[in-house]
Structure 1
Amino acid sequence: MAVRAAVLPAIGAPLEITGIELPDPGPGRVRVRLAAAGVCHSDLSLSDGTMRVPVPAVLGHEGAGTVVSVGEGVEHLAPGDQVVLNWAPSCGSCHTCSLGEVWLCANALGGAAEVYARTTDGRDLHPGLNVAAFAEETVVPASCALPLPDGIPLTDAALLGCAVLTGYGAVHHSARVLPGETVAVFGAGGVGLAALQAARIAGASTIVAVDVSPAKEELARAAGATEYVVASAEPAQTAREIRALTGKQGVDVAVECVGRAVTIRTAWESTRRGGRTTVVGIGGKDQQVTFNALELFHWGRTLSGCVYGNSDPAKDLPVLADHVRAGRLDLTALVTDRIGLEDIPAAFDDMLAGRGGRAVVTF
């Protein structure tokens, strides 16, 4: 039986809404009927070639749904189970996994190179970032399907698969924000809004949201921002405005969720001497950030990358669910639009224009 999917036929080409045929799940695999999928900026980066993906492909790596069937050897899941899709499952045996850094697993994205389905006209398809969530149903390795904790609606749970794990993890695992510290979050999209909520949960005092769009202030303040700065065309001016909010010292922690050289540099300049800058946004190879040797010595700041929030989804998902059930984490506040499968191209346009937080496809 064919299901509908949004297919990327070639890098830079428009998405095609078409029928695809999925195989029965083989050994160690499960078939999942999607309830919802988040539209993440990483999907846009895959479609335009910023990040590599074999094509044709079904994108979408942030999803939740119900198990339809399981293949031989799958014991932790059964038909009817509700699951969150994990696009970066750790192998447990590579060097970084042995160090406990499962978010850097060398084999996590191996499944993206495989053919997992075909279009109804016979073209082989690859699963973008392993899970191919821009479809009514998908077939994934069982390690890509995590049981959804009780009390979380499926249509909101999709955000736990990327935006929330990344934003929350950037604050709690990478930057390790402490109670009373000051934080600036650059970019008020889905990941940035999650990071703002995470900073509030961590007990940050001043929480500054920074974005080019004045229209996002309400979203940012609802997520936990105590201050809002509209980014200037002049990066130094933006940094001065942020530093002015902290007695001209600069924030203890800056979390960059955009992935542009100018934003990374501004985040760095916004932190205090000895402060910490965590880069979450995914930029292209042409985005070169420069520092001189003297400033690295003088300011004593720390600049670090952050992959998937430096999170272990299997361990962090129950923690996030506890925050949701207790009302500390509001998943609905991250959703700006509920759309259909055919509306994903328009959602890509919105991201390019810097509008909104997170569109969620519901099936």
Structure 2
Amino acid sequence: MKKMRAARLVEPQKMVCEDANFYEPVKGQVVVKNHMAAICGSDLHQVFFTRRGPKDFPGLPGWPGHEGVGEVIESHDENVKVGERVLTIPGGGFQRGFADYQTLPSSWCLQLPDYDGPEEDLLMAQQFGTTIFALRRGNMDFIGKTVAILGQGSAGMFFAWLAKRFGAEKVIVSDLSLARLEQSASFGADISVLGDPDGKGIREAVLDSSSGRGADIVIEAVGRKETIKQAIDIAGYRSNVVFFGLPDTNRDIPFNYAQFFMKQIQMYGVVDAQGEEDLKSFYTALDWIARREIDVTKMVSHRLPLESIDQALVLAHERDEDALKVTLTF
């Protein structure tokens, strides 16, 4: 059986790069030789706040990587040709992108458009596509509204850009990283606030900017209990709250139900963008990047080889060295 290098979660908070068996494709699947993969905030939750028991270790080779670009080297689908360069957006059961090769259904491979910039830019379309999907699901009116976004990882920055594109009057963002906040303005943020455990800073900024009304739309892009509670706290009357951040726990998270009820908040969670029937959100993301409607050239701050997977994850998690988006090369 063929071998490949792959990252594996061998214990909570620890991944290593080792030789692993190659996943043999079946009908309808393709094999992609990875050129590059990106670390997502949800990967960090899976690794550092894992809900796995002892019997679940080690994890599957390549898991939980799901943001990648590469070249098709074997195809069992007549509609996908060997040699095509693709963005890989694998869903459940196939999120194994932290490896030399991915074997996945062809439907989760999107051919890259013509683009004279680096392939790394197009890699950003995976995360970008999930944020487009999240807002399409809500069908919200952004025109003239005050929008608050908790978290300024790549997803939070994409939400800021989308809010402005869709007509928001004021976009207020918060994060614990000064480096990320410094980037936020280039993605549309009008006000950037350094986060705090009680959410005092973001609350004051939202109330000051909305004449005390609160935010019309709140997007939680962290997944921590603190920011989940803050999202409801800063939301205004008859507002909308979007929960995008992958929860870091399976336990109940208490929140002020009376506050939610009296404000008449509408809220929803978003996951599984790869289940979108036509994958239009991801195609739109690729198109906007390729046509340079959005500038993603400064989003990636660190590039490490696959062998340094553990270092790369710690870097992204701890935000050391002013880390923004961290990618892996093969």
Q: TM-score, normalised by structure 1?
A: 0.80
The answer to whether residue 291 in structure 2 is matched with residue 288 in structure 1 is no
Which residue does 2:329 correspond to in 1?
A: 362
Which residue does 1:178 correspond to in 2?
A: 142
Residues 31 and 103 of structure 2 are in contact (CA less than 8 Å); yes or no, is this contact kept in structure 1? Answer: yes
Which residue does 2:40 correspond to in 1?
A: 40
Q: How far off its partner does 1:240 sit?
A: 2.5
Q: How far off its partner does 1:303 sit?
A: 1.9
The alignment-based identity, stated in percent, is: 25
Q: How far off its partner does 1:132 sit?
A: 1.2
The CA distance in 1 between the partners of 2:97 and 2:201, in whole Å, is: 40
The answer to whether residue 310 in structure 2 is matched with residue 345 in structure 1 is yes
The answer to whether residue 86 in structure 2 is matched with residue 83 in structure 1 is yes
The answer to whether residue 74 in structure 2 is matched with residue 69 in structure 1 is yes
Residues 34 and 138 of structure 1 are in contact (CA less than 8 Å); yes or no, is this contact kept in structure 2? Answer: yes
The CA distance in 2 between the partners of 1:6 and 1:290, in whole Å, is: 37
Distance 1:292 1:56, change over 3 A: closer
Which residue does 1:201 correspond to in 2?
A: 165
The CA distance in 1 between the partners of 2:169 and 2:229, in whole Å, is: 23
Residues 165 and 311 of structure 1 are in contact (CA less than 8 Å); yes or no, is this contact kept in structure 2? Answer: no
The CA distance in 2 between the partners of 1:49 and 1:287, in whole Å, is: 15
The CA distance in 1 between the partners of 2:174 and 2:75, in whole Å, is: 44
Distance 1:39 1:297, change over 3 A: closer
The answer to whether residue 149 in structure 2 is matched with residue 144 in structure 1 is no
Residues 132 and 281 of structure 2 are in contact (CA less than 8 Å); yes or no, is this contact kept in structure 1? Answer: no
Q: 2:279 aligns with which of 314, 333, 339?
A: 314
The CA distance in 2 between the partners of 1:344 and 1:261, in whole Å, is: 27
Q: How far off its partner does 1:17 sit?
A: 1.2
Residues 339 and 361 of structure 1 are in contact (CA less than 8 Å); yes or no, is this contact kept in structure 2? Answer: yes
Residues 169 and 310 of structure 1 are in contact (CA less than 8 Å); yes or no, is this contact kept in structure 2? Answer: no
SS across alignment from 1:15? strand
Aligned residues: 319
> Which residue identity does 1:224 align to in structure 2?
G
Q: How far off its partner does 1:79 sit?
A: 0.3
Q: How do 1:1-363 and structure 2 match up within 5 A?
A: 1-9=2-10, 11-12=11-12, 14-48=14-48, 50-51=50-51, 55-57=58-60, 58-59=62-63, 60-71=65-76, 74-88=77-91, 109=92, 112=93, 130-151=94-115, 153-161=118-126, 163-174=127-138, 176-283=140-247, 284-286=249-251, 288-293=253-258, 295-308=259-272, 312=276, 314-354=279-319, 356-363=323-330
> Which residue identity does 1:339 align to in structure 2?
L
> 1:163-192 deviations in whole A, cap 9, x for unaligned?
212223333433634222221111111211
> 1:129-176 deviations in whole A, cap 9, x for unaligned?
x13111121211222222223327432322222x21222333343363
> 1:74-131 deviations in whole A, cap 9, x for unaligned?
122010011111222xxxxxxxxxxxxxxxxxxxx2xx2xxxxxxxxxxxxxxxxx13
SS across alignment from 1:338? strand
SS across alignment from 2:324? coil
Q: How far off its partner does 1:323 sit?
A: 1.6
What is the CA RMSD across the aligned residues, in angstroms?
2.4
Q: TM-score, normalised by structure 2?
A: 0.87
Q: How far off its partner does 1:348 sit?
A: 1.9
Q: What are the ranges of 5 or more consecutive residues in structure 2 without an aligned counterpart?
A: none
Residues 65 and 83 of structure 1 are in contact (CA less than 8 Å); yes or no, is this contact kept in structure 2? Answer: yes
> Which residue identity does 1:361 align to in structure 2?
L
Residues 122 and 286 of structure 2 are in contact (CA less than 8 Å); yes or no, is this contact kept in structure 1? Answer: no
Q: What are the ranges of 5 or more consecutive residues in structure 1 without an aligned counterpart?
A: 89-108, 113-129
The CA distance in 2 between the partners of 1:4 and 1:186, in whole Å, is: 36
